[in-house]
Amino acid sequence: MATTVETADGKKTKSVQYIEVDEVTIRFAGDSGDGMQLTGNQFTSTTAQLGNDLSTFPDYPSEIRAPAGTLYGVSGFQIHFSSKAIHTPGDRFDTLVAMNPAALKVNLKLLHEGGNIIVNTDAFDAKNLKLAKYDTSPLEDNSLKGYKVFPVPITTLTTAALEDTGLSKKDMMRSKNFFALGLLYWMYNRPMDQTLEWIQQKFGKLPAVADANTKALKAGYNFGNITETFTVQYEVRPAELPAGTYRNVTGNEATALGMVAATQKAGLPGFLGSYPITPASEILQELSHQKRFNFRTFQAEDEIAGICTAIGASYGGSLAFTTTSGPGMALKTEAIGLALMVELPLVIINVQRGGPSTGLPTKTEQSDLYQAILGRNGEAPVPVIAACSPAGCFYGAFEAARLAIKYMTPVILLTDGYIANGSEPWLIPNAEDLPDISVPFATDPENFKPYVRDEHLSRPWAVPGMEGFEHRIGGLEKQHITGNVSHDPANHQFMVEMRDRKVANIANDIPDQTVFGADEGELAIVGWGGTYGAIRSAVERLQSDGKSVAHIHVKHLNPFPKNLGDMLRRYKKVLIPELNLGQLAFLLRAQYRIDTITYSKVQGLPFTPGEIEDKANEILKSI
Amino acid sequence: MSNEEATKEQLDDQVKKLTPKDLASDQDVRWCPGCGDYSMLSQLQRTLPEIGVKKEDIAVIAGIGCSSRFPYYMSTYGFHGIHGRALAIASGLKAGHPKLSVWVSTGDGDCLSIGGNHFIHALRRNVDINVMMFNNRIYALTKGQYSPTSQHGQKTKTSPQGVIDHPFNPVLIALGAEGTFVARSMDRDPKHLKEMLLRMAQHKGTSFIDLLQNCVIFNDKAYDIYTNKETRGDNTVLLEHGKPLVFGNNRDKGIRLDGFRPQIVSLDDYSESDLLVHDEKSKELAFILGHMNDQPDFPMPLGVFLDIERPTYEEELDKHVQLAIEKEGAGDLNALLHNGATWEIEGNGK
């Protein structure tokens, strides 16, 4: 449908075509100082409000401000939004916003053929072209034919719009991301209200900055509206999702919310002992604002202190957490062993990133599974669960806390950088509907023994301050029932087996493994953690092509659900895509003696559905 | 014993009159015969009944090492942690449960070597815990390797040609880390030790005591010149708030200040009024006294170097919790879950 637009000043008219599409993927890309994450987040909030389903993927370098214009300094934010339910931030994008030549070069390969490129032509000078290793300007050498290129002098237009603000040129240029955002708001028919409000809130104390950003945003929108450059506006209708109240959450936000919810449902004060580390820091930041929930945050001097303060707080009767990422997890190892020896509840959250060592701090990976399950001295079983999406982090944190309290044990929750930073709409649960996880503290001082066990093999929780329950615990082996230090050989074997049995028995307390698709067939694609969305999208496509493919997504990794082994045996082939060299595959093969095919990707990047689809098709052909 | 009686009078009526026996656990104490740790255990068991805290509100936290077996021998709440981490565990316990009386038993290796980081950070935070550092200048439980307080040149299992690491001065580290209560005492002077433990209990904030303790097996007589009756007077000086620094077997010597430098003077030439008068409130003086026995011939100061006030970590954390509740109301989970921009979707989906 085409419409003729008359602008506010009535001088110009143009014909605009409205195209309704089901789904769109946009990539904002620029220097790490260009504010692309902010632009992406604003576009996301507005899009969430319009009721689209969405998924985002922030992708940025580990330097705060990498040198401007360089290929390694490119910061990107991808958003996939749709009128249907979606699971990933999208394989390839429809529109690329490139604030400079490096951003264009790094991202072009993932732009759909015929896709839109909005370039800031001001940044395509000799210096930036050279930094991006272009011999000739791609805007002039015909290399972009096959795409719809929209050259916009964003810097010039932004400074022109801000001429009368009295700001320096440098300050004016800071607003150019708002110009780009405004332009995209016009192009995808999104209202500016929410961002305008946000600007007032965020920069209320700096009226000049608020004014500049407001003007730049509106200038971008009007530029789209007025000029002849853009003749197409896209429309993406609200998605059909289950009824209810929604909000947009990142994985780290959802994790923090799940932690608070668990303390509330447990009726315990909350405690987080943590040391900042990418990409887990937001959880600590978020929770430092939740003190009204009687939730205390302790920014420790190091990772070891992070977990040890949490163990101390747990000993003192708080529901205690520690959050970290891979290298921090390595440092916490000894203390995890202590927590399991003293049998106190503790939730350890590892937001995995690229490893080993410092690895790829801002990039995602799933390579800490061995560490979570096996990485301690001694026979040291710890329940491990993994969240599969940003919103899934809420339930992951809650479930980890439930198990920790019920079984008096440390529990490891694995998330990863991809779902921790990514966001999606979340159907908000009612607090009343969340399960009660309150604690039956020890009540009978006469017969109290610290290591006597209940039907779940859990020992009683008695907290300093409770009269008559004074007792000693620690990392040395405990005598069964009395909890006294014991080096008795038979007791040690008994206690090792007891702790193992306690954790293994959790299999009776977790849901049976479910399957998406038929419960037998040619191919099962088995995943865990953040690969959920990519696998699900691929399996949906394969199934709609009539292929015999099922998706089995494992959330409980230690112990596994009771029916998992039998389930896996009902498929001819089992494909396991993992962002590691095959860690889940190793564990499944060891436990169930089944053959598996590993599809490994260790590039700091998530799988795309297309990659998994291709791999599945290749296997299906061979059956 | 007038000091002791006065403290007893202040006891809360509600607190049971505990005896040292009530504080002993049913476990056999397994330190070597003659170990200084026995004296420490006995003094803590004598002191705790006098601090006006119920038995169930006392927790003893430890790391790893001989001294760190301490919690097992107390009938209070106790936690034997992992090497070097007692202070982190204790800090978390106290931060989450402020009303407890928390005592940490740690050694010179546990506290200053593997646990050095937690030590300095506990002190700067001023968590209200009492840190008893058993300083025998040796790794004992691992059987005789040198520790961070072993003396330069000391021959140990891992330093057959003598230690080349310069030793830490625990008092100066504690002061440098902004400790608010720093003291020193010895296993061989139970009366002084008990007095110091009482002072620690009374102090709000991290109390640190450098407890000179004899290891009969691996470092016997390391402190002999300070504990032996014949040499003790000449080699130690008692720090008492408001009193001049007099020492010597015949109490015939004193310390005066020459600028910033301490100077040993004879009371034949000077009178007591010329001497340095101890002031527990002076950080500057604490550093001077902390340094003093690093120099040859100077006596080892025993007593309270510094006792000053600063808000405790858990008080401030609690204040933030209370302020947040006052300002924003007690947490409402539904409100939190719905925080920020939300939108409704009516039943158009599956």
CA pair distance B16, B31, nearest whole angstrom = 30
Most A CBs within 10 Å: which of B61, B93, B315, as the mutation test of the A interface?
B93
**Residue B340 — left, alpha, or beta (φ > 0 → left; ψ -120 to 50 → alpha)?**
left
Do B135 and B173 form a contact (C-beta atoms < 8 A)? no
Chain B residue with CA closest to A391: the answer is B337
**Angstroms from A539 CA to nearest CA on chain B:** 19
SS3 category, B126:
coil
Do A274 and A306 form a contact (C-beta atoms < 8 A)? yes
Residues of A in contact with B125 (CB under 8 A): none
CA pair distance A534, A610, nearest whole angstrom = 8
CA pair distance A568, A560, nearest whole angstrom = 12
pTM: 0.94
CA pair distance A463, B96, nearest whole angstrom = 12
Cα–Cα separations (whole angstroms), residue B176 to A216, A562, B171, B182, B184: 52, 57, 8, 11, 16
Q: For A47-59, what is the mean pLDDT?
A: 93
pLDDT for the residue B2: 47
CA pair distance A358, A365, nearest whole angstrom = 12
Q: Regarding beta strands A571-578 and A346-352, do their DSSP bridges make them parallel or antiparallel, or are they unpaired? A: unpaired
| H runs (alpha helix) in chain B | 2-9, 37-47, 86-96, 108-109, 116-125, 170-176, 190-202, 224-227, 229-235, 283-292, 313-328, 333-337
Chain B residue with CA closest to A253: the answer is B337
- Selection from B89, B149, B76 nearest residue B119 by Cα: B89
CA pair distance A409, A399, nearest whole angstrom = 13
Non-local (6+) Cβ contacts of B329 within 8 A are A292
Interchain proximity A485–B82, CB inside 8 Å: no
Exposure string for A88-101, b = 16+ CB within 10 A, e = fewer: bbbbbbbbbbbbbb
**Angstroms from A443 CA to nearest CA on chain B:** 15
Q: Regarding beta strands A74-82 and A23-31, do their DSSP bridges make them parallel or antiparallel, or are they unpaired? A: antiparallel
Q: Regarding beta strands A244-250 and A423-427, do their DSSP bridges make them parallel or antiparallel, or are they unpaired? A: antiparallel
CA pair distance B173, B178, nearest whole angstrom = 9
| Sequence letter at residue A306 | G
Do A291 and B321 form a contact (C-beta atoms < 8 A)? yes
pLDDT for the residue B350: 44
pLDDT tens for chain B, 350 residues long, are 445 554 555 555 546 678 999 999 999 999 999 999 999 999 999 999 999 999 999 999 999 999 999 999 999 999 999 999 999 999 999 999 999 999 999 999 999 999 999 999 999 999 999 999 999 999 999 999 999 999 999 999 999 999 999 999 999 999 999 999 999 999 999 999 999 999 999 999 999 999 999 999 999 999 999 999 999 999 999 999 999 999 999 999 999 999 999 999 999 999 999 999 999 999 999 999 999 998 889 999 999 999 999 999 999 999 999 999 999 999 999 999 999 889 988 865 44
**Angstroms from B23 CA to nearest CA on chain A:** 10
CA pair distance A128, A125, nearest whole angstrom = 6
**Angstroms from B196 CA to nearest CA on chain A:** 25
Whether the link from the prior residue into A559 is cis, omega within 30° of 0, is: yes
Residues of B in contact with A240 (CB under 8 A): 348-350
Most B CBs within 10 Å: which of A42, A247, A291, as the mutation test of the B interface?
A291
Interchain proximity B95–A313, CB inside 8 Å: yes
| Sequence letter at residue A7 | T
**Angstroms from A260 CA to nearest CA on chain B:** 8
CB-nearest partner of B88 from A308, A471, A473: A308
CA pair distance A619, A85, nearest whole angstrom = 27
Distance in Å from the first CA to the final CA of chain B = 81
As to burial, measured by CB atoms within 10 angstroms (0-12 exposed, 13-18 middle, 19+ buried), residue A159 is buried
The answer, yes or no, to whether residue A159 has pLDDT greater than 70, is yes
CA pair distance A438, A445, nearest whole angstrom = 20
Query: Which residue shows structure tokens 């039907």?
Result: A455
SS3 category, B342:
strand
pLDDT interval class at A65 (50, 70, 90): confident
pLDDT for the residue B1: 41
Give helix A207-226 / helix A193-203 axis angle, nearest 10°: 160
CA pair distance A266, A317, nearest whole angstrom = 11
Interchain proximity A292–B325, CB inside 8 Å: yes
CA pair distance A353, A78, nearest whole angstrom = 19
Q: For A329-343, what is the mean pLDDT?
A: 98
Interchain proximity A472–B343, CB inside 8 Å: no
SS3 category, B211:
strand
SS3 category, A445:
coil
Token digits of residue B218: 């691996």
pLDDT tens-digit profile of A506-553?
Answer: 999 999 999 999 999 999 999 999 999 999 999 999 999 999 999 999
CA pair distance A586, A595, nearest whole angstrom = 10
**DSSP for residue A490:** H
Give percent above pLDDT 70 in chain A: 98
Exposure string for A527-549, b = 16+ CB within 10 A, e = fewer: bbbbbbbbbbbbbbbbbeeebbb
Residues of A in contact with B95 (CB under 8 A): 271, 296, 298, 309, 312-313
Do A118 and A180 form a contact (C-beta atoms < 8 A)? yes
Residues of A in contact with B331 (CB under 8 A): 260, 264, 290, 292-295
Residues of A in contact with B333 (CB under 8 A): 260-261, 264, 293, 431
Non-local (6+) Cβ contacts of A72 within 8 A are A61, A66
pLDDT for the residue A2: 53
pLDDT interval class at A62 (50, 70, 90): confident
Most A CBs within 10 Å: which of B18, B72, B74, B91, as the mutation test of the A interface?
B91
The answer, yes or no, to whether residue A203 has pLDDT greater than 60, is yes
CA pair distance A199, A197, nearest whole angstrom = 5
Chain centre distance of CA A81: 17
Token digits of residue A423: 């966001």
Do A338 and A314 form a contact (C-beta atoms < 8 A)? no
Q: Give the mean pLDDT of chain A.
A: 95
| Sequence letter at residue B306 | L
**Angstroms from B69 CA to nearest CA on chain A:** 10
Interchain proximity B79–A474, CB inside 8 Å: yes
Interface size A-B, in CB pairs within 8 Å, comes to: 226
Interchain proximity A429–B337, CB inside 8 Å: yes
Residues of B in contact with A320 (CB under 8 A): 92, 96
CA pair distance A384, A558, nearest whole angstrom = 5
CA pair distance A532, A607, nearest whole angstrom = 10
pLDDT tens-digit profile of A355-404?
Answer: 999 999 999 999 999 999 999 999 999 999 999 999 999 999 999 999 99
Whether the link from the prior residue into B49 is cis, omega within 30° of 0, is: no
As to burial, measured by CB atoms within 10 angstroms (0-12 exposed, 13-18 middle, 19+ buried), residue B329 is exposed
Most A CBs within 10 Å: which of B89, B316, B318, as the mutation test of the A interface?
B89
Q: What is the dihedral of CA B223, B227, B233, B234, to 10 degrees?
A: -20
CA pair distance B108, B138, nearest whole angstrom = 8
Q: For A560-586, what is the mean pLDDT?
A: 98
Interchain proximity B80–A465, CB inside 8 Å: no
